[in-house]
Structure 1
């Protein structure tokens, strides 16, 4: 129902407008308090890059974070990642991830980023504490914050906003009447706008999600997505229909599509009943990190990667690398 109100043209949003006005007022007061120095903003002696959203729900932010971390690593930079760790409940914060950290502790997206990139990752509701924990552990050249565009307690040097190119901003209202955390004019102050699918507007960087081979959760075996048959598709992400559409675009017609809430926790008995004999369960990589401990032989996941135009790669990475070099020169000169 809320999706139809936000993006489907339903007019019942007006019932929620008083709450949206309150949300907008509180957000404006908080932002102003940091801008005027009434509340403390912490700055660290290295570049901080925020990859965030203006809207609630899945826009493809995590694939962009993976793209950025991977490309900076390939160029020899030491990259750390911080996150709120939404969906995780750690015994204490900040939490530094390791090979034994569970999604139930750190959240699914930080675990996915850690497993995929090997970069040091820390989570905390206070991202300032997460950055401090990373820097106490090791020397870094740059910190990427997964989400946190509205977390103004952490000073940042560069901001990227990822938007859904198909749904964009829906009805344009603040939460809960609409999907907006901040209004669209916030795009005027960010370093880059990356548009996932749909039609990128002038000045925006177009992005497509590119699927890899399907991977078996239990054995690690790989196969082409197209070779899978009798597929039951499931997704617990911000916008499950995008995953189902991706499968259909690869020529896979699921016999059933099952949507779960974003950051959903799973149990074996909950998922084992989704398939009948001869069927396979196919999920997102974000779901897979929460299911490996009780996976079955017929469970597969499909990783996705952000694909950005080669011509935009340097435009996005060059300002970050310039800041890193400035930081490193400063470290050398101070020693």
Structure 2
């Protein structure tokens, strides 16, 4: 974990030096972001309404909060309700030959970014990549999509949205509560009360942990469920319980926003981690990153990491896909909100 993340989330003693140094930059960030938001609100900067409904899945902080599993969940839910969904993403870390770029079966993470490739491979759903989200969405609409799901883009106010979901890491919450770079937040906690739904990943905190006292936005609890595990090379897919029986000791790597969450998931399923290695989010893997791991013990990674390692994977490399799960009440809340889009558009 980087030192700045320890300051943000774990009250590292370095906070007494770094936070005062970075606070002026946080104030500048506040001024710029607030000015921009106000400009969009009052029409000083143009925003655009698409011909099809838009669902934005985002967060107010940096790091992995569980957006991608929610996007995958929404793809399947909208399909079950008769929609033809498409996903737009910035494609962080990718360098496509042109934009907007439509992901296909030959696309690589170096072109489209790791998350868009994961979403396309998992769901076989149209995915358009580019910083211009409006152009990406229009491309998908021209391809026949009748609902757009935006992977991130909460602060992309040029694109008007019909439903706005904010994902919060239920364990880390908002760190020290400060804006970037002194803290992990892109927007203040007040932003929760302006969204349609707040989704807490893993733990739903009590109201005393939330600074916004006027927050009447419905909150949901997200659980990430792992049921099977896949081999990168052979594509073999086996039940997680069977894997645990055969491999009680494993090695593990994670290059996501919150690597410890992945390691905790493995230990919660009774897997003993001999070695674990964290990498920064969106890390571009090469074979040299795995030199410390032998071929005789299974190496586990996240699905997002796996899409970047398929070109040089070994027989003992496995990845653990996870699925978003909500209780029946929350699932019905999702369903009602999405069905309402048909009436409004």
| TM-score, normalisation: structure 2 | 0.91
Match of 2:332 in 1: 314
Written as runs of structure 1 = structure 2, the 5 A alignment for 1:202-241 is 203-223=218-238, 224=240, 225-227=243-245, 228-241=247-260
Match of 2:210 in 1: none
1:187 aligned to which of 184, 192, 198: 192
Q: Distance in 1 between matches of 2:202 and 2:135?
A: 34
Q: Distance in 2 between matches of 1:312 and 1:213?
A: 24
Match of 1:118 in 2: 124
Match of 1:286 in 2: 304
Runs of 4+ in structure 1 deviating by more than 6 angstroms, as ranges, are none
Match of 2:342 in 1: 324
Note the C-alpha offset of 1:239: 0.6
Match of 2:213 in 1: none
Runs (5+) with no aligned partner, structure 2: 208-217
Q: Distance in 2 between matches of 1:114 and 1:61?
A: 15
Whether 2:262 is the aligned partner of 1:243: answer yes
Q: Distance in 1 between matches of 2:201 and 2:169?
A: 5
CA deviation map 1:35-85 (0-9, x unaligned): 111111111111101000011001111111111111111222100100011
Match of 2:279 in 1: 260
Q: Are the aligned partners of 1:123 and 1:130 in contact in 2 as well (CA < 8 Å)?
A: yes
Q: Are the aligned partners of 2:40 and 2:157 in contact in 1 as well (CA < 8 Å)?
A: yes
Q: Distance in 2 between matches of 1:253 and 1:15?
A: 41
Does the residue aligned with 2:145 lie in a helix, a strand or coil?
A: coil
Match of 2:169 in 1: 164
Counterparts in 2 of 1:161 and 1:56: CA distance versus 1, 3 Å? same
Q: Are the aligned partners of 2:248 and 2:270 in contact in 1 as well (CA < 8 Å)?
A: no
Match of 1:330 in 2: none
| TM-score, normalisation: structure 1 | 0.94
1:149 aligned to which of 154, 175, 193: 154
- The more displaced of 240-249 and 198-207 is 198-207
Note the C-alpha offset of 1:219: 0.6
Match of 1:299 in 2: 317
Note the C-alpha offset of 1:5: 0.9
Q: Distance in 1 between matches of 2:205 and 2:75?
A: 23
Runs (5+) with no aligned partner, structure 1: 328-335
Q: Distance in 2 between matches of 1:94 and 1:141?
A: 18
Match of 2:78 in 1: 72
Note the C-alpha offset of 1:325: 4.2
Note the C-alpha offset of 1:33: 1.1
Whether 2:204 is the aligned partner of 1:199: answer yes
Q: Distance in 2 between matches of 1:60 and 1:284?
A: 12
Aligned residues: 325
